């Protein structure tokens, strides 16, 4: 598969990720946890969560609908691909080094989610990094 195809696959995966994120509040029992927060903190948390989902949707649509433009050499493609590679690379680092291992170790389901997340972040960082590398190597 070429870069353009991988960018489209990444776009589909990002849209699926955004859809899965809509299940998190119920799955993680956010209602009870958020009820303990002050109104301002609860609203900030919900607004930030909504904007994260919106950002992932926009990343997905960008990758899916503009894969050819991102794969073609241009300063804009270089900037977008570099930013996305950095974003997903940092998300991978967060998964590996920030989240406490006790959240998933010894829990079959949580371990599976952790492994899938690591694989997704590696794939996304890899695809966008590949595209960025191609942009700077060809410049």
What's the pLDDT score for residue 101? Answer: 93
Ordered DSSP codes for 45-113: HHHHHHHHHHHHHHHHHHHHHSHHHHHS--HHHHHHHHHHHHHHHHHHHHHHHTS-GGGTTT-HHHHHH
Enclosing H/E stretch for 37: none
Average pLDDT over residues 55-68: 98
pLDDT per residue as tens digits for the range 122-133: 999 999 999 999
pLDDT per residue as tens digits for the range 96-108: 999 999 998 999 9
What's the pLDDT score for residue 138? Answer: 79
Mean pLDDT computed over every residue of the chain:
96
Backbone angles phi, psi at 65, to 5 degrees: -85, -20
Backbone angles phi, psi at 57, to 5 degrees: -60, -45
Rounded to the nearest 10°, the torsion over CA 83, 85, 89, 92 is 110
Q: How confident is the model at residue 139 (pLDDT cuts 50, 70, 90)?
A: low
Enclosing H/E stretch for 139: none
pLDDT per residue as tens digits for the range 65-84: 999 999 999 999 999 999 99
Domain positions in the chain are 3-138
């Amino acid at each position: 598969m070429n870069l353009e195809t991988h960018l489209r696959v990444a776009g589909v995966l990002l849209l699926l990720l955004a859809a899965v994120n809509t299940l998190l509040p119920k799955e993680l029992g956010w209602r009870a946890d958020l009820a303990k927060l002050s109104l301002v903190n609860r609203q900030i948390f919900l607004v930030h969560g909504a904007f994260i989902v919106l950002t992932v949707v926009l990343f997905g649509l960008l990758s899916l609908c503009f894969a050819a433009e991102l794969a073609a050499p241009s300063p804009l493609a270089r900037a977008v691909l570099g930013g996305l590679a950095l974003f997903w690379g940092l998300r991978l680092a967060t998964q590996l080094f920030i989240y406490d291992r006790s959240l998933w170790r010894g829990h079959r389901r949580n371990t599976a989610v952790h492994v899938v997340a690591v694989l997704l972040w590696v794939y996304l960082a890899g695809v966008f990094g590949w595209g960025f590398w191609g942009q700077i190597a060809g410049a």
